[in-house]
Each structure stands twice: as C-alpha cells, then as structure tokens.
Amino acid sequence: MSPSGRPVLGMVLKGYPRISETFITNEILLLESLGFSIHLFSMRHPRESFTHKSVMGIRAAADYLPQEILRGFFPLLYHNLRLALRHPVRYLGAAGAAFKRFLRSRKSATVKHLLQAGYLVGKLLPGRDIVHLHAHFAHSPTSVAMFASRLSGIPFSFTAHAKDIYTSDPRQIREKMALSRFVVTCTDYNRRHLIGIAAGSGTPVHRVYHGIDLGLFVRPPEPRLPEMPYRILTIARIVPKKGLQTVYRALKILRDRGIRFEHTLIGDGDDRKKILAFIAELGLSDACRWLGTLPHEVVLTHYRNADLFVLGCEIAENGDRDGIPNVYIEAMAMGVPVVGTRVSAASELISHGRTGLLVPPGAPGELAAAVHRLLTDDALRARVTAAARDRVCRDFDNRQLIRGLAEIYRREQPLL
C-alpha cells in the first residue's frame, strides 16, 4: 500500500505547479488533510520560476509525462509496445477508440494522449496502489485519464472548469462523460451546460465551488476610505475573455471626466503586448502599471491597498469564458468592492447592488459609471463590502467545500 496505508488517488494535471491554478493546489492540500493519499501525473513541467507557498505543504509526489512525441519518442514507444504485448485486447480497444476520436477531430493530439496514457499505465502506474484517476480540465488531461482508464481498468472522473468546456467539441466531452464515473464542475452555470451536453448519459455531475482559504484573505480591521487618486486593481490572465480593453476604455472615460486614479494590472498572458500598446494608445500610461505575475504574498498586499477591484469579463470569439473568477472571491473576502460583468456564473457570487455591481460585458460607459459609484457612494460601499464578505464566508470557504468534494469521491469510489 501507499506510505499512509491507504489506496491512492491518481490525479492527472495539465501542468504542476501553476501560479494561475491555486484552486487545484489548494484542493490537493486540503484532500490530503482529510486523509487522501494522492499521486500526481503532470503533462507539463512548471512554466514559472517561482510558486505559491501552499505547494510546499503538498506531500503528493509528481511524475511528468513526456510532453512531446518527438522528444519523448523512444520512451513513449517502448512503454506502449510493452503494454500492448502484455494486454493486447485492452490496448487494441483503446487504440480503436483513439482512431475514432482522430477521425472525428482530425487532431494529432489524440495520438499523443493515447501514447502518454500508455506511458502512464506502463511505466508510472505499477506499484502505486492507485484505485481511481481524476483529471483537472475536460480537454487533454481528461483525454489522458480516459485512455489510461481503458488501458488499466481503473475508473476515472474529471473536473471541468471553463475554457476546457466551452472551446471543446461537445461530442468529445459527451464521450468522456459517458465513460467517466462522475464529473465535477465549479458553477451551476457549467453544470447545466454539461448536463445538456451529456444528453441523458446518467453520469452524475456535481457542482463544487472552488472557494478560498479564509485564513489568508482577511479583511483589514479598518478598511480604507477611498480618495483621489483612487487605487484600482485588476488581477487577470491577459487573454480576450478577461475584457481588459473594456476596463481600459472605462478608465479612459473616468480620466476624461477629471477623475484621478492609479490602476494596477497583475498577471500575464498571450495578449500582453496588445494590451500594453492599447494602454499607451489611450494615453493612460502615466496612470496605469503592469506588474506581471506575482507571488501570492505580494498579491495580498495589493488587495490591502486597493480601493476597488474591476474586471470586464466577456465571451471570447472562440467561446471561451470564465466561470466565477477566484479573484472576485478574494477581493470580496478582503473588503475590496468588486465591479464585474454579467457573464457566465458571475451572478452566482455577485448580487448586483448587494455584494457588488455587475454591468453588461463590452459596455465601458456602464463599467465606468459603476466604478465611480462604488468609489464615491460611501453608504453603498459600506453595505456592499460587508455583505460581500458574509457571502464569501457562507458559501466559498474552501475547507467546507472540500469536505463535500471528499464525500463525492468516497461515495463514487468507496476504496478511497
């Protein structure tokens, strides 16, 4: 058995650890605190040179799959051939399923996922006492988990988040749902969408919010009283679905009305150069700064110093969208009022006028008005920040939420 004497949950991840996926590392850490033994299988090595302190508390060991077919060709080929010789019926079944998926999608990644699964089962699985596989994200990690399940006979499940749901072929997700033991997702909005995709497959779909560690995100005893220049904060990956152009257009409107502010953007992403150029084009460079990706401890300081948090989420052209951005929850927990947009599941957290303000996506004028209102209406600000903190404490405490997730695992897989 594992060193803890318990059967092991194998978790398939896109990358580990990742700065932008603290909800996954927190989940692993909290499951371990409840007695789960976990082993991690990561498809990629870390992209950042630093990580959050919470990762240091995780006991689970991590193995890394070959990331590319060409670079890992010989290990992938060796372990897949060996597995095919030992279990020819299983391997042919998995290969046949991969071929059907390839015909459907015409994506070579399907072949890579089969080979990675064969490597996982042939080289990494033996001796681990793993009784269940769970993947985070419904696209490539779940593809690997699905093929690994077929090759090993070990059941699998997965957590679907955001982009992985809305930019994937629904037929691929439907197949994964039909074969999985259960599915978890982080919003009711996502749950309804997945049930619609499943088309009556009968696979249970559970909603478990991400939540945050309320011991880390603590509201200061004496909240700041905002005054010009206002300190406005945005934390986001710099990608289209975050609606950053709408945010900066709104800031331009405020600037043109004589409202002075200092805006801080924390995060990075594919659209970084585009957004920085857009800031300059609007003439906002003297009032806006970009700090890149920062460690958690530094981010907390920026929350404490902020007068308001703003994000302009929207549905991207490829269908990508957020669920409930964790940064909303974090800001609300720390007494920073939030202005966001009515996209996806935002209203499951933010009640307009009660725990924050929501405006339509792509509406910089309305976003600017909402920002100004929460900065200058002291009575509204006081009501919103108090109610927002209460809402987070009631429904987004990750220690409470993880107990519900643990019950799902143990109910659906009694060996855990």
Element (H, E) at 26: helix 22-33
Which of these ranges, 3-12, 147-156, 377-386, has the smallest mean pLDDT? 3-12
Residue 235, pLDDT score = 98
Instruction: Say yes or no to pLDDT of 4 above 80.
Output: no
Task: Report how far residue 93's alpha carbon sits from residue 89's, in angstroms, rounded to the nearest whole number.
Answer: 6
Q: Which residue has the higher pLDDT, 318 or 18?
A: 318
Domains 8-211+397-412 and 230-395 share a fold: yes
Tokens 């257009």, residue located = 249
What span, in angstroms and rounded, lies between the C-alpha atoms of 361 and 241?
A: 10
CB within 8 Å of 334: residues ≥ 6 apart: 217, 218, 219, 220, 300, 303, 304
Percent of the chain beyond pLDDT 90?
Answer: 89
Q: SS3 for 161?
A: coil
> Average pLDDT in the 154-180 region?
96
* 230-395 CATH: 3.40.50.2000
The CATH architecture annotation of domain 8-211+397-412 reads 3-Layer(aba) Sandwich (3.40)
Closest CA to 335 of 211, 249, 220, 244: 220
CA distance 34 to 349: 27
How does DSSP assign 158-202, residue by residue?
EEE-SHHHHTS-HHHHHHHHHHSS-EEES-HHHHHHHHHHHTS--
List 264's β-bridge partners, or say none: 233, 289
Residue 350, token pair as written in the block: 């933010």
> What does the domain layout of the chain look like in residue ranges?
8-211+397-412, 230-395
The pLDDT tens digits for 250-271 are 999 999 999 999 999 999 999 9
Q: What is the 3-state secondary structure (H, E, C) of 40-79?
A: EEECCCCCCCCCCHHHHHCCCEEEECCCCCCCCHHHHHHH
Using CA atoms, how far apart are residues 158 and 135, in angstroms rounded to an integer?
Answer: 5
